[in-house]
Amino acid sequence: MKKNVLIIGAGGVAQVVAHKCAQHNDVLGDIHIASRTAEKCQKIIDSIHEKKNLKNAGVLEGHALDATDIDATVALIKKTGCEIVINVGSAFINMPVMSACIKAGVAYLDTAIHEEQDKICETPPWYANYEWKRREECEKAGITAILGVGFDPGVVNAYAKLAVEDYFDKIDSIDIIDINAGSHGKYFATNFDPEINFREFTGTVYSWQNNAWQENKMFEVKKIWDMPVVGESQTFMTGHDEVHSLSQNLDVPNVRFWMGFGDHYVNVFTVLNNIGLLSEKPVTTAEGLEVVPLKVVKACLPDPSSLAPDYTGKTCIGDLVKGSKDGKETEVLIYNVADHKDAYEEVGSQGISYTAGVPPVAAAMLIATGEWDVKKMANVEELPSKPFLNLLNGMGLPTRIKDANGDRALDFA
């Protein structure tokens, strides 16, 4: 039984993680939040008390931390007695935080793949560039490291595993579809860190098709999907983390990721990209200042967490899986619908942060109770799906299925 959680990061997703950990501190124990800015941690703590989301009286503390400093992170882990670290900071700090967890002998979770500041869309599969190189190190040390346990990646990986376990003898394709049909009322904004958001879309779009990597450009491959609740939505095939693990861990010849984009987003993105403002490479201004254009754009856009109060509408994210069962062709959609307003009322965040922040808390609970404390590195599809999805059903992210038998909730109890 592992206890006490250290949350690294203090953005919109971290706020959800902290609220959900507080709601389940009977299982998780003490809750600590660490960020470069202690004031951000305190703001989250204040919001937890305001929403009365601390289930039992207990420790809820914030700390200033430079998470790139491995020794400082180890020291904080030991000082707080935390046995589970949930890393929801920038994707640039994954490796140093993982190093600290291995050194301190505690469990590690993250929600997105590691990135280096000066590199975009490295050679696929992306996990092989950094995380998977440390598999042996984690197993030798007996460290549980769960990779990409947000929603996508994360829950959608569990949906794929569920399809393998219960609904198919053979799977031909998995199409992961992410639709945000909400509105934040701003001229232009991203739903999570603008820097990470844009980096996803300025490089090569890698998909797994016919058991091989296929390369496309962003906004090159378009498809209209008709999804539950949100209806018909325009999407584009996009490179994404889960394609890079599902393609290697499941025997499926086709794995693709589709994200919904309106024409306005596409137009603004295209202009910014074409004039070089989304570049991660430094440029020098006429005044002799060296700046990174992408960081300047990030500084000019709204903080994603600031979108929450006025966000309305719903999200729909799921896996459309095709294959065969008992010799018959089969098609199944496993999905979730979340509401921006409901997320704000419960934890003070918008729906995108909510869908990303709830799953790592469910995973932490499974580590705490031992079901996912595998003492090695694993992607979500390598773990039992039903305990995870069962917890999510009761934590605000219920799973539904649409197939030949209709559209219904899935109960794993």
Averaged over successive runs of 10 residues, the pLDDT of the chain (413 residues) comes to 94 96 98 97 98 96 98 98 97 97 98 91 94 98 98 98 97 98 91 82 93 96 97 96 98 97 92 92 93 93 88 97 97 98 96 97 98 98 98 98 97 82
Count the alpha carbons within 13 Å of 80 in the hemisphere toward its beta carbon. 30
CA distances from 80 to 9, 33, 229 (A): 16, 10, 44
- Taking CA atoms, 384 is separated from 96, 109, 308, 369, 374, in Å, by 28, 16, 33, 14, 11
In this structure, the number of other CB atoms found within 10 A of the CB of residue 220 comes to 10
Amino acid identity, residue 132? Answer: W
pLDDT at 100: 98
Length of the chain: 413
Residue 201 confidence (pLDDT): 85
Peptide bond into 125 cis (omega under 30): yes
- pLDDT for the residue 198: 85
Q: What single-letter amino acid sits at 153?
A: P
Given this model, what pLDDT does residue 337 score? 98
- Beta bridge pairs of residue 284: 290
Which positions ≥6 away from 341 have C-beta within 8 Å? 311, 312
Cβ atoms of 257 and 209 closer than 8 Å: no
Predicted local distance difference test score (pLDDT) of residue 191: 83
Give the burial class of 156: count Cβ atoms within 10 A of its Cβ; 0-12 exposed, 13-18 middle, 19 or more buried.
buried
Pairing of the two strands 290-291 and 314-325: unpaired
Residues 269 and 101: their CA atoms lie apart, in Å, by 37
Q: Please write down the HEC assignment for all residues of 17-61.
A: HHHHHHHCHHHHCCEEEEECCHHHHHHHHHHHHHHCCCCCCCCEE
Task: Report CA 186 to chain centroid distance, whole Å.
Answer: 23
Return the amino acid letter for 38: A
Cα dihedral sign, 214-220-226-228? positive
Rounded distance, CA 85 to CA 251, Å? 31
At a CB cut-off of 8 Å and minimum separation 6, what does 121 contact? 203, 204, 206, 239
Contact assessment for residue 328 and residue 341, using Cβ atoms and an 8 Å cutoff: no
Res 132: pLDDT: 98
Backbone φ, ψ for residue 19 (5° rounding): -60, -45
pLDDT confidence of residue 175: 98
Question: Is-contact 364 21, C-beta < 8 A?
Answer: yes
> For residue 119, what pLDDT is reported?
86
Structural domains of the chain, ranges and CATH numbers in brackets: 5-150+353-395 (3.40.50.720), 155-346+401-409 (3.30.360.10)
